[in-house]
Amino acid sequence: MKYVLVTGGVVSGLGKGVTASSIGVLLKACGLRVTSIKIDPYLNTDAGTMSPFEHGEVFVLDDGGEVDLDLGNYERFLDIKLTRDNNITTGKIYQASLSVKTALIYYSSYPYQFVIDRERRGDYLGKTVQVVPHITDAIQDWIERVAKTAVDGLDGPPDVCVIELGGTIGDIESMPFIEALGQFSYRVGPGNFCLIHVSLVPVLNVVGEQPLDENVKAKLSQFCHVPGENIITLYDVPNIWHIPLLLRDQKAHEAIFRVLNLSGFVENSLIFGLFLSRLAREPVLDEWTGRAELCDKLHEPVGSNYYVSIAMVGKYTGLSDSYLSVLKALLHASVACRRKLVVDWVPASDLEDATKEENLTTRFFLLQNPENYKAAWTLLKGADGVLVPGGFGDRGVQGKILAAKYARENKVPYLGICLGMQTAVLEFARSVLGFQDANSTEFDPETKSPFVIFMPELERMACVNRDLKLIWEAPCVLVNPDKVALLESAGMSFTGKDESGQRMEIIELPDHPFFIGAQFHPEFKSRPGSPSALFVGLIAAATGQLDAFLEKASIMHDVSKSETKKCTHNPSMKSNISKSTKGITNGHTNGFPEQNMYGIDNGLHKGHTNGPLNGIHKGLTNGSLNGIHAGRVTVSVNGVHKEHLNGSLNGIHSEYCNGYGNGSINGVYQKEYANGSLNGVYSDHIHTNGSLNGIYSNGNGNGFHY
């Protein structure tokens, strides 16, 4: 096992997270399997209770772990799935942060973890418990255990673990981790540990970050005892996707290979030549380069038709990192739609009448008037689309309701996430149904018109960060199921529900060009080469491309005509985003090509082509790893087959799928034609193919995949 440690100096916020992610991309492009660990020295157990203004976005992992936003960068750059154990904090080391059941399993397997709990049980047999060696040993054991866990869906341990140490060298709270990592470098031995330090090098009379000249690099080499070829310059670039390319162009991978003795293995070993040639190959970044260059072109001022403006109506607009994953998902979608993204930040509270009255009052007293109300509405009305992200607490809720009202009445594309979906429901209840007092019990526990309610099985304290949860199967606050029939009678469609039919996950307005709300958080699953379908739908609708996208490319998996005729749902209940693909293309989850072009990373392929990893193939094509194949084609790994059914890894198929359902890992299928995916939730009588944590529309020919 090889380890690469990334540290930072001089000041915080230099970009260690992007650097660590980019190093991972470079090593992965060389054929290595890469995992990542982020160390946060703060005493918090995790980032879940930290203010967005304090620490930016809380990124939520597949296992529900609430972690630092840098882990979101790792997942997006490397296209991997991390767990809560990939984020180490001082709080986790000192105190068990897991459930009692899980903690007991860890205690028996990893005796140095959770130091204080072990001390209370007497596991140290009367010894004095100290930072060295007990805390430092626990840190090293944690790193060594987690580094061996595969995060790319393949068997066996990764080749390299990239570790980022948060904060700045010299911080008091970082000292136990620095000591532990110093010991760890000796523990794993020479040739298995590489240190990369990210530092600010101020150069006078220079505006912005520029490449270092040779004289400066020579001085750094001399005084820091670092070979000149190991000094890499990272400077301002048009977009962060260029960072791995900067590292490649300066041969950073060769420097890392020298330190880790990888290049020496290739020269001296013939027995393992096949394996080592994989380690030593030059980085293949053609697809990554194409995406970075495409993003650059979209920034060129070639005309207003190449721009798309999205009004982001939120509470934490003063710090863009509070919505980092939403911003990245918008970027991924805008690049897929070949448009430059412009985000207009609209503070939700500035849209409210109270702000207008406050401004009138300040004008009366001749005080400075920022005219926030007027500015907010100008931005909202000038946007091509509206996005209302998650949040909690009642501040700004009325402004979000007004934003939903404006988008609905003026046919402006709208996407509401979590609280953004709930405020859309409240606005509809007030404006269309006439319930002026419609509210959420989160904001008014005594409301007489509770259209949004707390779920009784969950504690309120467990719901403080409800809007940050990816585990949408049991969110704390949901649309009141007793009000669903009333809302549907007025024209609102609930196209996504859980298996019980009681939890509303997706809403749509069929008479609107694009008006969708999602209880879950699709932004956490968006990737540069595989953008979230909901975000692509928003951008496509905002740029007038939605119909073309739905006609020429499949946002969802393809459904053959022979399957469609067997479905018992009402075809008139189609989702706006689920029009027939007419068998034109073969889709990969969330891949979107324009016209007859092949899509970017993991895009769509036409005709009898072979698909990419996890591709979905039509006709007589041959599939790839974990592919799901239509027709009478070769099946995938460990497929389970029924009649002409093609399964996927460990697929489980329902009784009434008649050979047309496609299964996936741990898929559970409900009724008739539903096809499942990992922990998916399926509605009645649907005929869809699923994806990871997908939610599928009721009566919808093609379900959403996230």
C-alpha–C-alpha distance, residues 694 and 680, integer Å? 5
C-alpha–C-alpha distance, residues 10 and 400, integer Å? 41
Q: Please compute, for residue 353, the number of CA atoms within 13 A of its CA located in the half-sphere on the CB side.
A: 1
Measure the N-to-C terminal CA separation of the chain; round to a whole number of Å.
33
Query: Sign (positive/negative) of CA torsion 391, 397, 403, 405?
Result: positive
Helix, strand, coil distribution of the chain in percent, nearest 5: 35, 15, 50
- Whose structure tokens read 């931005």? 379
CB-based contact 455:478 (threshold 8 Å): yes
Q: Is 90 helix (H, G, I), strand (E, B) or coil?
A: helix
394-415 CB burial, b ≥16 within 10 A, e <16: eebbbbbbbbbbbbbeeebbbb
Catalytic residue list contains 242:
no
Residue of 427, 508, 523, 563 marked catalytic: 523
Q: What are phi and psi of 616, to 5 degrees?
A: -115, 130
Sort 594 into a burial class: Cβ within 10 Å, 0-12 / 13-18 / 19+. Answer: middle
Rounded to 5°, the CA angle 87-93-97 comes to: 75
CA–centroid distance for 100 within its chain: 29
Residue of 521, 617, 653, 685 marked catalytic: 521
Catalytic residue list contains 418:
yes
C-alpha–C-alpha distance, residues 240 and 19, integer Å? 9
633-669 CB burial, b ≥16 within 10 A, e <16: bebbeebeebeebbbbbebebbeebbebbbbbbebbb
Q: Are strands 2-8 and 193-198 parallel, antiparallel or unpaired?
A: parallel
Residue of 30, 295, 418, 657 marked catalytic: 418
Query: Sign (positive/negative) of CA torsion 167, 169, 174, 176?
Result: positive
Residues belonging to the chain = 706
- The DSSP secondary structure of 185-216, one letter per residue, reads HHHH-TTSEEEEEE-----TT--S--PPPHHH
Token duo for residue 24: 């991972």
C-alpha–C-alpha distance, residues 503 and 478, integer Å? 7
Catalytic residue list contains 523:
yes
Q: Which residues are catalytic?
A: 418, 521, 523
